[in-house]
Structure 1
């Protein structure tokens, strides 16, 4: 089956689209990456999404318009990829997360909102579309995130190595993969959770400090010119989220504008330059990931494989390596899985599994009470 996976993550830097060919069933699948592209949001739409994620109020009529506008851009991304790489049998669309509330004490279910409704995409691309992937896990008492670890298990596990697969998008999340020799039918116990900030705080700092002319730290250029304030890093690492044991998930609601608005005055009081602040936030991201490993992993990994936009930031990768000196830190590109389109590929697989009615969540990761089939199938 040829499947297109679509996702725009918490960085809101565009829609990643990946076309893959998948064969097999359940865990016994082979996935061949065909082609991918990143389709940028129009500037005004990106700004509106960013404002909603930051908590700006929105009338219901405006929310409906925004939902349709995002769906239209997802259609454009899918059609651009099909024009480039050929037709598809199925589209799997994660959509654009604009709100995420983890499970809370008192038996309160988690809540997560992804805009870009699948029915509108299916109608316009004239192809079945699987969407709304998080709902079934949430309804089963899970966090609804992270959902990619089960795909990491199939595509990146190793017969002898313990591996951490670290995604660094807007938010960071880790998959811990014990060795899986001989690929038995029963996989090992996989762990996974959101490690905290990924690129979100760095991106916000770049947007703020450059007065909107830059939206991310390309090649870690600003961070490489600054000096990190380690006292601030240690202070930020005392945030209660880092003491909370997995399963856990987070988003821009916690590590977004509100957190940055607390960090910025602290940096100004210490006389940090703009590049110093970006260096400090980069250091914080790497330190948070390493601290999560030391605190919650049963064993330290033999290798760390990094995907997402953070894998293209050499300063962030170097700082993560410095915090994890005993195992190599490398891009998933090194082991044959596109770091740039890893998340889009993962949702293509989750869409394929929905088609097969194969459960796509891992209760050990999300905290759900049982494995469930993820997503809702929309026909054109």
Structure 2
């Protein structure tokens, strides 16, 4: 079956679209990536999304307009793929997260992804599955991360203990024990590790007066040196101490948090390059901190994916926090495209929902009370 996965992450850098050919049954799948593109939002729409995700209030009319505008951009991404691949049979659209509140003692969890699935289905003529996270939250889960079940069945190794580390705006990990272990599936773990690219991107935008959105290859940060005393201070944040299951987003590690970090740095008179190196190393150090706190078995490989896997300085800093026998690689090196892995995941989740009728969540990862079918199905007119 030809399935198209769509997602725009918390960085709001683009809509990722990945067309895959899925063969096999239930959990025993073969995945072939046929096409992948990045479709940019118009600048004005991207700015609005970032404002809303940062807490700007909206009227209901403005909310509806934003929801529809995002859906139409997702449709544009589908149309681009369809030009060369008109045989798409199913779409799995994550949409655009603008708000995420994990459950806690005071609140039931809540998550909101915009980009209406019914619009995508009707305008493309293709059955569309969206709204993947709410069923897990309704079952008491975090609604994230949702890729861990896919990681388990596509990237586990008979002998090696792996961590699949996605670095988007927020970082998340799937811990994969070696398949030689008894009941290895039950030992799979996953959670959000904290900031990924988000703080780095915000710092670059701040220092470049908006002329740059990200640090290409980490070249700017590589000119500085991380200030370890600041990183140790920041790692005392409550989120880093909280055991899994846990998830986070722009609400916790967004512009306000970066400003707090910048104020913390003022007493040390750090130049911009050193601050960028330090905020980059916070992502690397927080990944290492999470693994050391919550994973008991030595890790043979860390497989990076997402936009952060292209940041060579960040990759170097992650390796520096694992100086022993742990190899830091990318998922490309084991046969899974690192740029489009998240989009591929939502194509598979849609397939599991629509074709296989299989639950898409792992309760030990999200904290849900039970497995659930994920996603709402929208049929075209």
For the aligned pair, the TM-score class normalised by the smaller chain equals: over 0.9
Mapped to 2, the partners of 1:86 and 1:239 lie a distance apart of 48
Alignment CA distance shift 1:186-1:292 (3 Å): closer
* Structure 2 residue matching 1:339: 3-state secondary structure: coil
Cα deviation for residue 258 of structure 1 reads: 1.3
Partner of 1:179: 178
Partner of 1:292: 290
| TM-score normalised by the chain length of structure 1 | 0.97
Partner of 1:117: 116
Partner of 1:333: 332
Cα deviation for residue 222 of structure 1 reads: 0.7
CA offsets, 1:133-173, max 9 Å, x none? 00100000000000000010111010111110000000000
| TM-score normalised by the chain length of structure 2 | 0.97
Alignment of 1:83-94 (within 5 A): 83-94=83-94
Mapped to 1, the partners of 2:86 and 2:218 lie a distance apart of 35
* Structure 2 residue matching 1:360: 3-state secondary structure: coil
Partner of 1:95: 95
Partner of 1:369: 369
* Structure 1 residue matching 2:187: 3-state secondary structure: coil
Q: Which deviates more from structure 2 when the two are superposed, residues 223-232 or residues 14-23?
A: 223-232
Mapped to 2, the partners of 1:43 and 1:275 lie a distance apart of 27
Give the paired residue count: 378
Partner of 1:12: 12
Partner of 1:147: 146
Mapped to 1, the partners of 2:82 and 2:70 lie a distance apart of 19
Alignment of 1:189-338 (within 5 A): 189-326=187-324, 327-338=326-337
Structure 2: gaps spanning 5 or more residues: none
Partner of 1:343: 342
Partner of 1:44: 44
Mapped to 1, the partners of 2:219 and 2:161 lie a distance apart of 32
Cα deviation for residue 26 of structure 1 reads: 1.9
Cα deviation for residue 71 of structure 1 reads: 0.3
Mapped to 2, the partners of 1:234 and 1:244 lie a distance apart of 16
Cα deviation for residue 86 of structure 1 reads: 3.7
Cα deviation for residue 249 of structure 1 reads: 0.4
* Contact 1:179-1:188 at 8 Å conserved across structures: no
Partner of 2:360: 360
Cα deviation for residue 185 of structure 1 reads: 9.7
Structure 1: gaps spanning 5 or more residues: none
* Contact 2:177-2:184 at 8 Å conserved across structures: no
* Contact 1:195-1:292 at 8 Å conserved across structures: yes
* Contact 1:293-1:300 at 8 Å conserved across structures: no
How well do the aligned residues superpose, as a CA RMSD in angstroms? 1.3
* Structure 2 residue matching 1:84: 3-state secondary structure: coil
Cα deviation for residue 181 of structure 1 reads: 4.2
Cα deviation for residue 33 of structure 1 reads: 1.0
* Contact 2:226-2:277 at 8 Å conserved across structures: yes
